[in-house]
Structure 1
Amino acid sequence: MQPDNSSFDDSRRLLADVALAAGTGNALRIRGGNSKPFPGREVDGIDIDTRTHRGIVSYDPTELVVTARAGTSVAELNALLAENGQMLPWEPPSFDGNATVGGMVATGLSGPRRPYAGATRDFVLGCRVITGEAKHLRFGGEVMKNVAGYDVSRLMVGSFGCLGLVTEVSMKVLPKPRATRSLLLELSAADVPRKLRAWRDAGLPITGASHLDSWLHVRLEGGKDLVANSVQEIGGEELESAFWDELRDQQLPFFADHRPLWRISVPQTAPLTPLPGSVLLDWGGAQRWLKSDEPVDVIRADAAQLGGYATCFSHKADVEPFHPLPGAMLSLHQRIKRQLDPRGIFNPARMYTAL
């Protein structure tokens, strides 16, 4: 598929802006739709807006590959894929249609389907990146393959713009399921792991499992007969599919709570130990959203005890938004940043003060 009339290659302007910043030493605050100012600190720098660099560069539905510029909205990309019966498998949030492809890659956020289909970095095939020396480089390609050294295209996923400015991304897509049904069951949180294990062992096609306020929300996707039979086995009430979009985009009433929002990431097998606040379980319990006023040390200690880590999704000036890194890991991050952004102009301190 060729680019549509709304496509525009604004890479020259982006390169010029980066070259100017590199020459003057001014920091740059990379922004697209500004739909995800969280997690991370607010960046003190000059805005460099990617939204004018937009459009679908190429799309071959038969090859299940799409390439889009960074300023393209996720909603636009989803609509194009849906026309061809396809989807982004990791279900990235669109946040009222403002999220962009560049921000989708930079944050690496995934929706409810993530533990059953894969994460953002599992489907990124390649990208183009403007480095801190104002070089426009291409990494990876449009086919899955192993590479020696750093896989830079996947390093960009979840880097929050600290390593470079992503201008273009090639992604693997998948067919949409033939049937989708969602169910609501009254169930205690303590019984969720047992139920999910039993359904998984029985081969039920679960692609969403979230628990809130004594209710388990389950999504089934796959062939029509398999989904219908699974519905009969699970039982419960019919649930509107909009629930998963609202969960993905943090629009459920749970997220309106005034207390700070924390994302607790733990192993799938971690026990359901009580956390200090209101909890919404997603990813079958591997992702736990927490609304709490408790001190950061308490929350992170609880997360560590479960074998995981805690990320603050609310702007708090006195809190490191991301879980502190061990010394060796932080040193590795610093070396990678020096290679790609030697002048430190891209989103300084967005993730850690030492970056």
Structure 2
Amino acid sequence: MSATETSTTSGDDLVSLGERLKQAHREGGAVRIEGGGTRHFTGRQVEGEVLSTRRHRGITSYDPVELIVSVRAGTPLQELEATLAQHGQMLPFEPPRFGAESTVGGMVASGLSGPRRPWAGAVRDFVLGMRVLDHQGREQRFGGEVMKNVAGYDLSRLMVGAQGTLGLITEVSLKVLPVPSSSRSLRLEIDRERAMQQLASWGRQPLPLSAATWHDGALNLRLEGGPGSVAATADMIGGDDLDAGYWQQLRDWQLPLFRDDQFRSQPFTDHQQPLWRLALPANTPALALAELEGAESIDDWAGCQRWLRSDIEATTLRDACALAGGHATCFTPQAADPYTPLSPVLARYHRQLKQQLDPNGVFNPGRLYPDF
């Protein structure tokens, strides 16, 4: 199907959003950007007037042949994925879905990716272009709808993961991919050291791996691709079959590590221990910290992303990660400093960027760091 499609459930709230920002600019106020409100636990809590994007919704353009979709920020993520699924396509970076209210704008602003990220790419790798309202309510356009349109410093990708601190995302154009024709999940009961060695070895081979975790004493793998390649690789690796639902639970933060009660609608409810995400270089051994002995954890992304539940002191954990060449982020709502403090040089660049794009501090002030 080569014709461009558009969404039937849409709403253009661009004028209203722009007027609200102009008012905040004139009066020296700040806004707290909110879509579905499902990602409130990412970043620091923000004070300011709520500016909702929920009415600015709809798929404005979709060409299944060219694998490109443009969608407004307030569009429910599940609506976008349902439309893509009708054409056998998907968002390759597997963004977590924190309930039916989760929006595309929140997906882009948080920049979170799922199990397939090391093999397919992150959210920003599939952003082709973006429309943004600046601090004066003016619409700015960055990038385009094809990769060759992206030249120079790509501000659209800079918005990914910025938590709405640099501007209000109103529309984004994304590259999508076909759903793999075959998939199989396996579980091998081996220790962590052997699991990491195997993954390093397999990483040097053209195998159809698309997800890998070490969890509860076993290496969990997902194979995706052509039927022949998937079947041959599964025969070579061996192990037991794993329910494919495991990857959906991991993607959506529904595994027990993320929540006490699987049936609650939000992660972290009533959980007493902070949830940490450690980003570490490949093949980094387990951190040698006595405070982590017996802690509940999942090694995701073939060991490069490690989820951890622990009461360990933040400085101790972050120092250990820094020595290994990584960093640690806390995803618990009450965390005072969820992100690793910036070095003086990086802090200066962040401050200068914020000053250029949001000189009056209109957008989500303090969401990432207290000074911004």
Tell me the TM-score range normalised by the shorter chain. Answer: over 0.9
Match of 1:285 in 2: 303
SS across alignment from 1:233: helix
- The CA deviation string for residues 59-86 of structure 1, in whole angstroms up to 9 with x for no partner, is 0011110000000111111111111111
SS across alignment from 1:269: coil
Please show how residues 158-237 of structure 1 align to structure 2 within 5 Å: 158-237=161-240
Greater shift, 330-339 or 106-115, is seen at 330-339
One-letter code aligned to 1:24? E
Give the one of 318, 334, 337 matched to 1:320: 337
1:175 Cα deviation (Å)? 1.0
Give the one of 276, 283, 287 matched to 1:273: 287
Please show how residues 83-98 of structure 1 align to structure 2 within 5 Å: 83-98=86-101
Match of 1:301 in 2: 319
1:146 Cα deviation (Å)? 6.3
- Separation in 1, partners of 2:64, 2:288: 45
- Separation in 2, partners of 1:3, 1:148: 27
What is the number of residues matched between the two proteins?
354
Match of 2:274 in 1: 260
- Separation in 2, partners of 1:118, 1:4: 26
SS across alignment from 2:130: strand
- Separation in 2, partners of 1:131, 1:6: 26
- The CA deviation string for residues 30-69 of structure 1, in whole angstroms up to 9 with x for no partner, is 0111111122111011111111100000000111100000
Match of 1:329 in 2: 346
Q: List gaps (5 residues or longer) in structure 2.
A: 261-270
Please report the TM-score for the alignment, with normalisation by the length of structure 2: 0.92
- The CA deviation string for residues 186-219 of structure 1, in whole angstroms up to 9 with x for no partner, is 1111111111122233422110001111011100
Match of 2:7 in 1: 4
Contact kept in structure 2, 1:32 and 1:99, CA below 8 Å = yes
Match of 1:15 in 2: 18
- Separation in 2, partners of 1:190, 1:269: 9
Contact kept in structure 1, 2:32 and 2:50, CA below 8 Å = yes
Q: List gaps (5 residues or longer) in structure 1.
A: none
- The CA deviation string for residues 137-188 of structure 1, in whole angstroms up to 9 with x for no partner, is 1111001036554311001001000000000000111111110101111111
- Separation in 1, partners of 2:150, 2:204: 35
One-letter code aligned to 2:339? F
1:274 Cα deviation (Å)? 4.3
- Separation in 2, partners of 1:343, 1:188: 53
- Separation in 1, partners of 2:101, 2:210: 25
One-letter code aligned to 1:338? Q
- Separation in 1, partners of 2:288, 2:182: 35
Match of 1:126 in 2: 129
Contact kept in structure 2, 1:133 and 1:341, CA below 8 Å = no
Give the one of 303, 324, 329 matched to 1:311: 329
- Separation in 2, partners of 1:71, 1:84: 22
What's the C-alpha RMSD, in Å, of the aligned pairs?
1.3
1:272 Cα deviation (Å)? 2.5
Residue 263 of structure 2 corresponds to residue 249 of structure 1:
no
- Separation in 2, partners of 1:160, 1:144: 24
- The CA deviation string for residues 231-263 of structure 1, in whole angstroms up to 9 with x for no partner, is 111111111111111101110011125310011
One-letter code aligned to 2:69? V
1:269 Cα deviation (Å)? 2.7
Aligned-residue sequence identity (percent) comes to: 51
Residue 365 of structure 2 corresponds to residue 351 of structure 1:
no
One-letter code aligned to 2:297? V
Contact kept in structure 2, 1:265 and 1:287, CA below 8 Å = yes
SS across alignment from 2:203: helix
One-letter code aligned to 1:25? G
One-letter code aligned to 1:296? A
- Separation in 2, partners of 1:166, 1:328: 27
